[in-house]
Structure formats: C-alpha cells, structure tokens
C-alpha cells in the first residue's frame, strides 16, 4: 500500500513535469530581462514542521513622494520627469512545505495590480505599469535546534527569477524601468535566521541576516546590474492572548550602487534605510492567521538624489495544513 502510494506520487510528479516542459518549455526559454518586487519581510520566518504546508496571500501598498540627497530631503523643480508621487498595489502568494523536520522549501510569486508614477509637470501624464513580478524559490535547512532552550539557527539559500513583465508598453511606448513589474534580473539569496524563545514566557526574539546578489542584465541596448542588497533585522514578538500577538521589527537595508554599461557606476543609486515595522497578528481559528504590518522608514540615506521610499503597509492571510 505504502509503496503503491509512493510510486503513484513519483509518477504524478514526473508526468506533470514532462507535460509542463513539453507545453511550456519554449516559453521558459523566452525569458526577458529588471525594478521588481517590493523589498522588506514580514518578520515571520519561523520553521515549518515536517509535512506541513503553509499558504500565504498578502496585499501590500507602498507610497513615496520625497526626494532625498544624503540623509536630507530635497525639493526639485516642477518640471520634466520629476516624480511628484509614486505608489504601488501589490499581491503576493507564498507556499512553504516542510520536507522533513529540518528542511523546507518556499516558493513565492508576486503581482503588481498597479505601479504608478505621477509627475510634477502637467505636460507629463501619469504612467502606470502592472503585471506579474518576480518569483522566488528558497531552501531552508535547520542546522541547529535546541527544543528545551527554544533556540534555532536556519540558513536559507535561494533564487529570485524574473518571470514577469519587463518590457511593458503603453501606446507602444515602453514604460521606464521603475514601472516595470519585474526586476529583469536573476538574483541569488542567502540568509541566516536565528530565533530564541523563552520557555514559559510570551515573548520571542529573532533575527534575519540576508544578502541578495543580482545578475547583470545585458541586452542590445540595456546593460545594468543592480547593487547588492544587505539586510539585517531584529524582531521581537509578544503574545498578549491566545489569539493576539504584537510584533516589532527593526530592519536595516543597505543597497550598494548599481552599474551600467559595463563598469560605469550609477552615482544616484544605492541607499541605507532603517525601518521600524510594527505588526499585529490575529489567530481567529486554529491554523489561520491574519496579520497587519507597516514599514516605516526612521532613517534614510541616499546616494546622489533619489526618490526615497515612503511607507508601505501590508495585510497577510496565512493558512497551515498538516499532512502528518
């Protein structure tokens, strides 16, 4: 019985992949090369148990309307391509599966409902992009876990794949790179998650250190490499009631300068931002979780002059299934 079930699973997976490759193989090869998914994390990177499946859907809204030079805001003249305000509405879907007690896999995909830039000059019409963004595939392995002390160390490795739209046009005019839903670039991720609980207590702390390295995008007229992104966050959570947890995250993101046309440095690129991200988590019924969070930059430093990140808020719904 057990062997039949396993054989059937293997056959199903093999057939599915073969069909997929036959039908969609050529489309996979036609990948195009990009601004991509909004940064940040929901602070919830806790382990998922063996044969547990976690499905997350999230909505995120982001807004920006201030230019920064260094760590000071700057007012630009109202002309040309000066952006008055930029915003996005973003959906994300994530699936995590515990392969065994130590290893899990995570797949994530995003979709921009819209990504808008409104210009200060009235002669420049608001531009809007939308569509499929990037996908992520991550593997996590718990290298150390002490049940008694509730201490865990788990590294992740993964890849972000630019599956979405990177050459979107409106009226046959290609949108600027900042409005393209996909980043256009493969990016390689490595992270380490460290978690510490306190037996008998309602609070818990964890940290996440990440690095994201972008691959060079090279096509006929476009040669660009996004700067490497370093991120470090410390998060504390406190469970008030069985169904209510509050979370507070302090997160630093540092992005190095980008390069274009070979090794030319893009001086007005790269930044260092510190975010404060409060979050509320509700567990209305078992295995369901709803959370609300906001990313609030409390310190910003931008190289050159750049449109700075404003605030971003998100809603997440998480459901966990146990197949044990």
**Which of 45, 47, 104, 127 forms a contact with other proteins (CB under 8 A)?**
127
Question: Contact, 143 vs 153, CB < 8 A?
Answer: yes
Identify the residue among 76, 91, 211, 313 touching other proteins (CB under 8 A).
Answer: 76
224 burial via Cβ count (<10 Å: 0-12, 13-18, 19+): buried
Q: What sign has the CA pseudo-torsion 298, 306, 265, 178? A: positive
- Judged by CB under 8 A, which of 7, 16, 149, 299 binds other proteins? 16
What is the DSSP track for 207-249? EEEEEEEEPPEE-SS-EEEPPPEEEEEEEEEEEEETTEEEEEE
Contact criterion met (CB below 8 Å) for 129 and 168: yes
Q: How far is the CB of 323 from other proteins (least distance, A)?
A: 4
**Binding map of other proteins across residues 149-188, x = CB under 8 A, - = no contact:** ------------xxxxxxx-x-xxxx-xx----x------
Q: How far is the CB of 238 from other proteins (least distance, A)?
A: 33
Q: Tell me the HSE value of 324 on the side-chain side, using a 13 A CA sphere.
A: 12
User: Which tokens in the block code for residue 40?
Assistant: 């940040």
Residue numbers 248-277 binding other proteins by CB under 8 A: 260-261, 264, 266-269
3-class secondary-structure state, position 6: helix
Nearer to other proteins, 103 or 276 (CB): 103
Kindly write out the interface string for residues 203-222 of this chain, putting x where it contacts other proteins by CB under 8 A and - elsewhere: ------------------xx
Only one residue has tokens 């030319």, namely 264
The footprint of other proteins (CB under 8 A) covers 1, 5, 8-9, 12-13, 16, 20, 24, 27-28, 30-32, 51, 53, 55, 76-77, 79-83, 95, 97, 107, 109, 123-125, 127, 132, 135, 137, 161-167, 169, 171-174, 176-177, 182, 221-222, 260-261, 264, 266-269, 304-306, 321, 323
């Amino acid at each position: 019985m057990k062997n039949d079930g396993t054989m059937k699973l293997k056959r199903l997976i093999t057939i599915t992949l073969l069909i997929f490759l036959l039908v969609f193989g050529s489309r996979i090869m036609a990948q195009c090369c990009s601004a991509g998914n909004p940064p940040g994390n929901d602070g919830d990177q806790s382990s998922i148990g063996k044969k547990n499946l976690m499905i997350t859907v999230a909505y995120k809204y982001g807004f920006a309307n201030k230019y920064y030079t260094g760590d000071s805001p700057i007012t630009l003249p109202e002309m040309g391509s000066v952006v008055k305000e930029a915003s996005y509405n973003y959906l994300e879907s994530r699936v995590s599966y515990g392969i065994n007690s130590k290893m899990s896999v995570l797949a994530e995909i995003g979709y921009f409902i819209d990504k808008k830039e409104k210009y200060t000059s009235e002669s420049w019409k608001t531009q809007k992009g939308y569509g499929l963004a990037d996908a992520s595939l991550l593997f996590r392995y718990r290298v150390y876990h002490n049940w008694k002390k509730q201490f865990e160390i788990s590294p992740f490795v993964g890849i972000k794949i630019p599956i979405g739209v990177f050459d979107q046009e409106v009226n046959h005019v290609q949108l600027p790179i900042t409005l393209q839903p996909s980043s256009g670039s493969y990016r390689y991720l490595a992270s380490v998650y460290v978690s510490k609980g306190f037996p008998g207590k309602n609070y818990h702390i964890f940290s996440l250190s990440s690095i994201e390295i972008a691959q060079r995008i090279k096509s006929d007229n476009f040669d660009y490499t996004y700067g490497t992104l370093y991120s470090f966050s410390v998060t504390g959570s406190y469970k008030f009631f069985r169904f209510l947890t509050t979370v507070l995250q302090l997160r630093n993101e540092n992005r190095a300068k980008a390069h274009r046309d070979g090794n030319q440095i893009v001086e007005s690129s790269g930044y260092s931002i510190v975010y404060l991200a409060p979050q509320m988590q509700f567990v209305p019924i078992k295995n369901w979780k709803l959370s609300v969070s906001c990313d609030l930059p409390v310190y910003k430093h931008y190289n050159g002059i750049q449109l700075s990140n404003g605030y971003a808020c998100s809603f997440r719904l998480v459901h966990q299934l146990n197949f044990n």
